Amino acid sequence: MVTRRKALATIGAGSLAGVAGCLGGSSSTLRFLGFGGNTQESQMEIFERWADDSEYEIEGTSAGGTTEMISMIQQNPGEFDIVALNDTGMAQAAAEDEPILEPIDVDDVPNYTDNIRDGAQDLTFLVEDGDTIGLIRENGATGYAYNTELVDRELTSWDDIKDDEFDGELALLDRAVDRFSNCAVAIDADINDAADDEDLFEDVIDEAEEQNENCFSYWSDGATSIQYLRQENATVCEAWGGRVLALQEDGYDHIEYVMPEEGAMAWTDTLAVVDGTENRETVHELLDFTYERENLIDMSDAMNYTVQIEDPPEEMTDLPDYAPVEDLAFRDWSKILPLQDEWSEQFQEVKQT
């Protein structure tokens, strides 16, 4: 039985398309590469607090996703010091022939080891050959949202989005692993099991095809999902909880976020040190500041996502997709990463059915 929380499986958050900011900078500039949107703004607020009391400036750049992030780092050696990668990106970076990230000396980031739950510090995608290569930042889930002014009943499950009334009014996430993960949850299965069980994976594909029937569009960045909801292009839209809460705070409180009763995939973002940075010691100082408890709570409040801190405040535990790390099921990237290209091809076939 996959419960509402046990069904959560990590995947990366979305991002704004395009690149903001400019590359380069002086030796007194730390350069941060992130996802854009609310998470980037919230992170930069914390970084700027540190910069106000230092001789450094923080220059923020955003990318349209993990593949673009890794490509930017590869094509611009020495141009970035710190990066926010999701767990997908961490797995992809580790698989590259040339190093993308360099180990983090957690002894120089004591606030991380003091304030982040022990079980969240040694997740497989954060550690490589015994070295810490990423620090968990926030995590959330990918459920869906709907317009309560256009729907006269409460939606609670993945089955609900397949109802005929939503024909041509549903938007879904345009990422193969993400989609298949939620479809696995919808049929009470685990995507890790489906990775090496052909019959089970066929059941996942069948579910993806059924959910596709009502879909008019697939979105690849979080900003588009919110645009669809705000402009009523979509009545129902797969979405990230923090983005929906931010939309509600902007006055769209008729948009309701749903954590389906079957569960939903989760994701986590990390902070990592870019290989070749000339500011390694200073980056560690910045990371230690970021992981001060007060800053983590402020960042969670601004992002509307969970940070895996010890003794979280009520405001955090009240988030719609809150879950402590022990209630999260994480992807086995040793199984899934080799299948990504094949799954992407199968996903394209699903979208064409």
Q: State how far the alpha carbon of 39 is from the alpha carbons of 15, 94, 148, 353, in Å.
A: 9, 23, 26, 35
pLDDT in tens, 282-340: 999 999 999 999 999 999 999 999 999 999 999 999 998 898 888 887 888 999 999 99
pLDDT per residue of the chain (353 residues) written in tens, 0 to 9: 333 333 443 333 333 233 333 444 446 999 999 988 889 999 999 999 999 999 999 999 999 888 899 999 999 999 999 999 999 999 999 999 999 999 999 999 999 999 999 999 999 899 999 999 999 999 988 999 999 999 999 999 999 999 999 999 999 999 999 999 999 999 999 999 999 999 999 999 999 999 999 999 999 888 899 999 999 999 999 999 999 999 999 999 999 999 999 999 888 999 999 999 999 999 999 999 999 999 999 999 999 999 999 999 999 999 988 988 888 878 889 999 999 999 999 999 999 98
Pairwise CA distance, residues 224 & 222, whole Å: 5
Q: What is the DSSP letter of 328?
A: P
Amino acid residing at 109: V
Same fold for the domain at 29-139+269-323 and the one at 140-265+337-351? yes
User: Domain 140-265+337-351 belongs to what architecture?
Assistant: 3-Layer(aba) Sandwich (3.40)
For the stretch 96-108, pLDDT in tens is 999 999 999 999 9
Looking up tokens 């989760």 gives: 266
Fold (CATH) for 29-139+269-323: D-Maltodextrin-Binding Protein; domain 2 (3.40.190)
Other CB atoms within a 10 A radius of the CB of residue 78 amount to 14
Helices and strands (H and E) in the chain: how many:
15, 13
* Segments making up each domain of the chain, as ranges: 29-139+269-323, 140-265+337-351
